Amino acid sequence: MSVVVLVGNPRPQSRTHQAAQLVAESLTGRQADRTVDLAELGAALFDPDDPRVAEAVRAVTGADLLVVASPTYKAGYTGLLKLFLDGLPSGGLAGVTAVPLMLGGHWRHSLAAELLLKPLLVELGATVPSRGLFLLDSDYTASEELEKWLKSARPQLAATVNGEAIGQAIGAVG
């Protein structure tokens, strides 16, 4: 049973990284078991035989609950995130319940998580029961939007996630 955070930001330890941790913790009441920060893998992502990339793929495809986070760049998710996800096998996220999360500087792109990132995760076989979550980089730590999202997403995620303990934790927290 594992809760994993995947961060597709070219900058390491970013606000996107922090927001993803916050979402995982708010949902489950504990820290994620593993965080894959793609910035730390850098050019190794071009080498499918790199052992660190292979380990990251195992962590992500083996997650019960996976928070997939990207900053909004040019109205979409980052190329870095797509590069990593393109390396997954077809249906590689089967059995994974995923949460699409995007951080941005402006509400103008607030549907990007729902309209762009969510379909990518569904294509990879993930179960994505909740609305894609978009948060502003300026107020994600105390966001009314996050509170509203948690309220609607919690029962949806608790009902679908593999791993009874995680499901119970999601349902109980909040």
Ligand X SMILES: Cc1cc2nc3c(=O)[nH]c(=O)nc-3n(C[C@H](O)[C@H](O)[C@H](O)COP(=O)(O)O)c2cc1C
The residues binding ligand X (CB under 6 A) are 9, 11, 14-16, 71-75, 103-106, 109, 137
* Residue at token pair 């303990």: 165
Q: Which amino acid is at 131?
A: R
Tokens of 142: 């105390």
Min separation Cβ 155 and ligand X, Å = 28
Q: How far is CA 34 from CA 105, 110, 142, in A?
A: 27, 27, 24
Q: Which is nearer to ligand X, 15 or 118 (CB)?
A: 15
Q: Which is nearer to ligand X, 108 or 151 (CB)?
A: 108
Q: Which is nearer to ligand X, 77 or 153 (CB)?
A: 77
Min separation Cβ 20 and ligand X, Å = 9
Residues in Cβ contact with 57 at an 8 Å cutoff, skipping those fewer than 6 apart: 87, 88, 92
Q: Which is nearer to ligand X, 51 or 74 (CB)?
A: 74
Min separation Cβ 108 and ligand X, Å = 6
Q: For residues 25 and 154, what is the distance between their CA atoms, to the nearest angstrom?
A: 12
Q: Is 145 helix (H, G, I), strand (E, B) or coil?
A: helix
Min separation Cβ 92 and ligand X, Å = 25
